[in-house]
Amino acid sequence: MVTSLFLKRFKVGATECCILVSLSPDLDALTIVIAITVALLLGMAKTGVHGAGMLSVPLLAIAFGGKQSSGLILPMLLVADVFGVWYYHRHASFSHLKILFPWAAAGVVAGSLAGNFIDDEVFKVIMAITIFSSLSVMIWMEFGGREKIPESVYFGVIAGFLGGFTSMIGNLAGTVMAVYFLSMKLPKNNFIGTVAWFFLVMNWFKVPFHIWVWHTIKPDSWLVALTLTPAIILGAYLGIHLVKKMNDRNYRWFIISMTLVAAIVMVLR
C-alpha cells in the first residue's frame, strides 16, 4: 500500500511554514527525501533533462515497490508533463507521433493485463533489463549504429508498442522512446517537444487503467502530486536552463550518462 502524505502547517515566529507529514508511521524521513528528489528530477526530465526521469523511476521503486510506485508517480508525471508541453510544444514532430500513438495505446492495454500477473520483484527485474538494454542500444548508436537503423514505419510500430508496454510496466518508456527518437536523428528541441507530447497523451491514457484495473491510483496519490508540485516546478525551471547550455551531441551523451546512473541504481537497490 502506498503511504500518503499531507501538508501540515505550523508557525515559526510570525512565519507560516508547511511540511510533508506521513499518514503512516512507515513513511520515514529518507522516503520523504526520495519523493521530493523524484519530483525535482521529473520536472527536469519534462523540460529536456531526459535521463533524470529514468533515474527517478528506480528511486521511487526502491522506496515504494515497483507496481505501487508506478501508480504513485503517474499523477506527478501528469503535473510535470504540462511544463514540458508548454515550453516545447512548437518543436514536436507530429509525423512521428501519428505512427506511435495507436501502437503505444495497444502496449498500455497489454501492459495493464500483464501487470496483474507480475509481482513486485519481477517488476524491478523488468525495469533493470529495460534500462540496461536501452543503454546498450544508445551507446551502439553513438558509435555508428545509428546509420544502420532503418527509418521505417515498422520500427515506429515496434517502438510505440514497447513504449506503451514499458510505460505501464514501471513508467520506463523514457528509455525506449529515447532510443527511438535518437535513432530518428531529431535535433535537441524537436526531441524534447516530441517526447513531451507523447508522454502527455500516453500518461492521461494510462490513468483509467491505474484506477480501475490495478487500483494503484487513489485520492492520496493526487495529494502527493499536489504537495510536490513546487519541487516539480523548480525542476522544470532548472531543466530549461541546463538544456540551453548543451549542443546536440553533448545532449545525447548526457541522456546516455543519466541512463547509466539509473541502471547502477537499479543494480545497487
pLDDT digits (tens, 9 = 90+) for 168-210: 887 778 878 888 887 888 888 898 999 999 999 999 999 999 9
Q: What is the pTM for the complete model shown?
A: 0.80
- Cβ neighbours for 10, distance < 8 A, ≥ 6 positions apart: 16, 17, 18, 19
**Average confidence (pLDDT) over 86-91:** 87
pLDDT of residue 197: 94
Question: How many Å separate Cα 156 from the centre of its chain?
Answer: 20
**Average confidence (pLDDT) over 77-85:** 92
Measured at the CA of 261, the angle between CA 268 and CA 132, to 5 degrees, comes to 80
Here the cell at position 45 is 526530465
Measuring CA to CA, how many Å separate 54 from each of 176, 177, 238? 10, 11, 17
97: exposed, middle or buried (Cβ count in 10 Å: 0-12, 13-18, 19+):
middle
pLDDT, one tens digit per residue, over 8-62 is: 443 434 444 444 444 344 567 788 888 889 999 999 989 988 768 777 877 887 7
- Cβ neighbours for 34, distance < 8 A, ≥ 6 positions apart: 59, 60, 62, 63
Alpha carbons 244 and 242: distance in angstroms, whole number:
5
Between 133-137, 146-150, 153-157, the lowest mean confidence (pLDDT) is in 146-150
